Amino acid sequence: MNTYYNISTPSTVNLIPRTTGIGRLGSVSIANTHTVKFSIDLYLQDSDTTNFYILKGTTLEPGVALVLDGDNIFFDTTDLALYIVVGAASSGTSS
């Protein structure tokens, strides 16, 4: 199953909530369609709200895409949720 998010404002988004079962990702693609760079954090969070960062403070320039893929991206969603934080851009527009 593919899930797509269009995040156009600075925010924190729960991409995969804690549920029951194993979260296995084929890939995570993050693209900057804006005219200015922005920062991202991608992390797993446990029920005690402890964060385990996959990416922290990573900057994406305009027109750049970042793809994380492989069979090693999996986690137990009974214990962990996947979040992304998109940092504020100083100015610019979506394309």
pLDDT single digits (tens) 11-27: 899 988 888 666 667 78
pLDDT at 71: 65
- Using CA atoms, how far apart are residues 18 and 78, in angstroms rounded to an integer? 5
CB 23 within 8 Å of CB 16 = yes
pLDDT single digits (tens) 60-93: 999 999 998 866 677 888 889 999 999 865 444 4
- Using CA atoms, how far apart are residues 92 and 34, in angstroms rounded to an integer? 6
Please give the model's pTM, rounded to 2 decimal places: 0.82
Average pLDDT over residues 23-49: 87
Q: What is the DSSP letter of 94?
A: B
Residue 56, pLDDT > 90, answer: yes
The residues facing 43 across adjacent strands are 53, 83
Residue 94, pLDDT > 50, answer: no
- Using CA atoms, how far apart are residues 46 and 27, in angstroms rounded to an integer? 21
pLDDT at 26: 74
More confident residue, 67 or 5: 67
